[in-house]
Amino acid sequence: MRPTAEISAPDFPPETPWINAPFVRLGTLLGGHAPLVWFWDLGSLNSLRALPYLLEWHRRYEGSGLKVIGVHSPQFDFGHDAGNVEAATARLGIPFPVAVDSEYEIWKLYGNEVWPALYLWDRRGVLRHYHFGEGLYVDTEEAIGEVLREIDEEVTLPAPMAPLRPTDAPGALVKPPTPHTYINSDRSPRPVAPGETLRIRYAAAGAAAVLDGHGPVDVWLDDERIRTIQLAGPRLYELTGDGAHAEHELALVFEDAAQAYAFSFVPGLA
């Protein structure tokens, strides 16, 4: 989206901890850079589905003045641990700076409400484009090109990247999946005993779960075991591959004690 009024970039609180950088100050970037501030969470399916676009924009445009800046604001208790955020940043191959916003100071400063969300500022520190959730990738990349040409009108830029998934294509008709479902309404972990089974019915093109533990989990779909995943600490785990939008019953059978937080679901084409 394009803002309807001129909005100036707020800077990050000076005490903010950072990953991949000693510190970042928007004020020192302006003039020669266009900052793209991206709010995400390591347990957010929508954040992780958007991440490949952020990585590619960083690769394509860093040399032309784009400065991608991640802000990790936690959705679950384990996301408050800077060590977990640092491990996720390394595991996901994120090279750009990430602010560890465990107390939601930057989240509140921006008035943010969702994961993911992005805010593109021009070289003067004016908000030029923002978007909440997945999608509008071509629009965002076109906005990036616009602000970079204001830094250097002679810059040569590539065409926007092709959609990574059919549901990402401009104008794609998408069926909304079953909403993100917290196992406990207060987002606290639900202890799972060895041998216990968690079940959920859903309608979507795929499923994932936020889990914590270190044992194997058998994944059953419509009474057929489709895979076994090995838990390796708190994170989002893919349970089924992307397919056509359909109704299913999912069951997770835990061999060892674990903690379960939420189920998330993948949209499919209408």
Q: Model confidence over 103-119: pLDDT tens digits?
A: 999 999 999 999 999 99
Same domain, 151 and 222: no
- Could you tell me the two tokens for 44? 């957010």
Q: What is the CATH number of the domain that holds 89?
A: 3.40.30.10
Is the predicted pLDDT of residue 5 greater than 80, yes or no? no
Residue 216's CB is within 10 A of a number of other CB atoms, namely 14
Beta-carbon count within 10 A of 21 CB: 11
Identify the pLDDT of residue 4. Answer: 75
The range of the structural domain enclosing residue 77 comes to 18-168
Q: Which two tokens stand for residue 243?
A: 């397919």
User: Is 183 among the domain residues?
Assistant: yes
Quick check: pTM over 0.85?
yes
Query: 201 and 75 share a domain?
Result: no
Mean pLDDT of the chain: 96
Same domain, 100 and 210: no
Residue 151 lies in a domain: yes
Where do the H-state alpha helices sit in the chain?
Answer: 26-29, 45-61, 82-91, 105-110, 137-151
Q: Which two tokens stand for residue 45?
A: 């399916």
Number of domains in the chain: 2
Summarize the confidence of residues 74-97 as an average pLDDT. Answer: 97
- Of the chain, the percentage scoring pLDDT greater than 90 comes to 93
Q: Is the pLDDT of residue 66 over 80?
A: yes
